[in-house]
Structure 1
Amino acid sequence: MQIPHFPEANHPLVKSLFHHSDHELLTLFQRHPDAGKYFTVIFCRYSPIVYTLIRHSARSPVQADYLFALTWRHIYYELGGLNLTTPESGEPALTMQNWLINITAFCINEIKLPPTEAIHYSLQATSPPLWCYVQQALDQLPPVLRLIVLMAQTFHWSETRIAAYLQAEGEAIAPNEVANFLQEGYRMLEDKLPTDIRAIYFGEDLAQS
């Protein structure tokens, strides 16, 4: 399995931060939770190491890609509480690389992957940083809108099937209303994404965001 290339590494917003140290990027990430560029730079810097560790443990490329994404999602949530400052005990300081290797090993050993045919994630379609922030935005949507978006995007259900499912769950939504709910869900989802993530992945102009 070849180590994938991620185009976001060439985005000016990302490249402009390459000079920062790991410690600086971590501090910026923790201080600016509404910005996605710092996590994206950390991802671009260390994705080859993480992917190399993972590809040797997965049974298939699809499972490797999915475990890679799940690992970075775990990293994303753990970074908020990470401390790389030098301990007073005289022990060697924890480095970002060592921490990431440990986290990756944990995910390899602990995450139970579904069969290949049950995985709907595509690494080529959705890079892990974008996936993390989309999931974070999804969590902020009203429950019904979130469910409609997930059924349409993850399971590729038709509007009729979505409406039938919702009606069975007690939601009085007609098939012709599903499209409107979907558009509203997509609009809210985009609004809840960090502006720099939209710039990096969707090409939006930051000045207009």
Structure 2
Amino acid sequence: MSSPAPIPNFPECDHRLVQSLHHLSDRELVQLFQRHGDAGRYFTAIFCRYSPMVYSLIRHSARSPVQAEYLFALTWRHILLELGGVECPEAVAGEGPGAFTLQNWLINITALCINQAVVPEVETIHYSLDQATPPLWCYVEQALDCLPPVERLVAVMSLTFRWSENRIAAYLQAEGEALTAADVRQKLGLAFQHLESALPEDIRQIYLGDASLRPEPLPDDLDGLLTVPDLEGVSLADANLVGTTGDLGGDFGNEWAN
């Protein structure tokens, strides 16, 4: 039996904005996250503190490294959504092993995601930790939701599939959108301008610096223009960064758990 994949290193954990928060307690980080919804550094600091634990739990249950990375990202996306409703009780002297802690809450959330998330087959997953670690992925997804439908779709085609302007135009024309490659180029420029503006400022500093989210497209594959199986059934309204989404069933709740 092959050994499980090693726990990845995440470069954002060495960024000065994240390093400056290392002295804060879990409770302080959660409270700052809840008070400053327009900042991403507090969630990123929590991710850096607990990503080894969460990844270790997930990698032993996933059927493949690709699915492990995808479930890892899904779990942190769910943590981001739930963290705003977490109650942070004051520490009480003499609390026993059943006391509320962020670590216990994260373990429970991770276990529920492992048991209830619907993880697609490997060939339909277009997520990679090398391309976007969970905090960036989460905030980019939130920013994508702010874009108009056509801008969101062309941004997803560029980010996820690295399609060229010609190929994006060909797909949109096949779907009834009268857009030329020049139109796509203009919409891509606007899409990434709006996308980066919608990201929290500190997330841009941590992950982008002076760079841009816009990737270099792959060369056109003329045969690939004839069929687009990766996007079959995808509409302008429901395009997403990963190319497929996993569903989380059940009620995870907003309270701290043992």
Normalized against structure 1, the TM-score is what? 0.91
Q: How many residues align?
A: 203
Q: Greater shift after overlay, 7-16 or 148-157?
A: 148-157
2:201 alignment partner AA: T
- Whether 2:25 is the aligned partner of 1:17: answer no
**Larger RCO: 1 or 2 (CA < 8 Å, sep 6+):** 2
1:66-115 Cα offsets, whole Å, 9 max, x none, are 11011000100010111121599x99442100000000001101111111
Is 2:13 the counterpart of 1:6?
A: no
Give the Cα separation in 1 of the matches to 2:44 and 2:35: 15
Aligned match for 1:60, one of 59, 64, 67: 64
2:51 counterpart residue number: 47
Q: Paired residue for 2:77, among 73, 91, 97? A: 73
1:53 alignment partner AA: L
- Amino acid in structure 2 at the alignment position of 1:109: N
2: CA distance between counterparts of 1:86 and 1:25? Answer: 14
Q: What residue number does 1:186 align with?
A: 192
What does residue 135 of structure 2 align with?
Answer: 129
Which amino acid is 1:19 matched to?
H
SS across alignment from 1:176: helix
What RMSD, in angstroms, separates the aligned Cα atoms of the two structures?
Answer: 1.9
Aligned residue identity for 1:12: R
- Residue 117 of structure 1 and its aligned partner are, at CA, apart by 1.8
The yes-or-no answer on 1:102 pairing with 2:108 is yes
Structure 2 distance, partners of 1:144, 1:48, is 37
Matches within 5 A, 1:130-169: 130-169=136-175
For the structure 1 residues 87 and 38, does the alpha-carbon distance in structure 2 shift closer, same or farther, using more than 3 Å as the test? closer
Equivalent position SS for 1:77: helix
Q: Point out 4+ residue stretches in structure 1 off by more than 6 angstroms.
A: none
- Aligned identity (percent) is 64
Q: Distance in 1 between matches of 2:150 and 2:75?
A: 28
Match of 1:37 among 18, 34, 41: 41
The answer for the alignment partner of 2:121 in structure 1 is 115
Residue type at the aligned position of 1:103: I
C-alpha distance in structure 2 between counterparts of 1:153 and 1:37, whole Å: 23
Q: Distance in 1 between matches of 2:136 and 2:172?
A: 28
In the aligned structure 1, how far is the partner of 2:117 from the partner of 2:44?
Answer: 23
Paired with 2:150 and 2:208, the residues of 1 have a C-alpha distance of 26
Name the structure with the higher helix share. Answer: 1
Deviation, structure 1 residue 152: 1.9
Tell me if the contact between 1:86 and 1:93 (Cα under 8 Å) persists in the aligned partners: no
1:149 Cα deviation from its structure 2 partner: 0.7
Partner of 1:174: 180
Distance 2:27 2:148 in 1: 36
Give yes or no for contact 2:18–2:45 (8 Å, CA) kept in 1. Answer: yes
**Whole-angstrom distance in 1 between the partners of 2:114 and 2:78:** 11
